[in-house]
Structure 1
Amino acid sequence: MATILMVYASMTGNTEDMADAIADGVRDAGIDITVKSVVDTNASELTEYDGILFGAYTWGDGELPDEFLDFYEEMDDVNLQGKKAAVFGSCDSSYSQVGAAVDILIEKSKEIGAEVTLEGLKIELSPSADEKETCRDFGKKFAQSL
Structure 2
Amino acid sequence: MASLNPGGIGEFLKEQRRNAQLSLRQLADAAGVSNPYLSQIERGLRKPSAEILQQLAKALRISAETLYVRAGILEPEREGEGETPAGAAVRHAILVDPSINERQKHALLQIYDSFRKENEHQDHADAGDSSGREPS
State which structure, 1 or 2, has the greater radius of gyration over its C-alpha atoms.
2
Fold shared, TM-score > 0.5 on shorter chain = no
TM class by shorter chain equals: under 0.3
TM-score when normalising by structure 2: 0.25
TM-score when normalising by structure 1: 0.24
Ranked by relative contact order (alpha carbons within 8 Å, sequence separation 6 or more), the top structure is 1
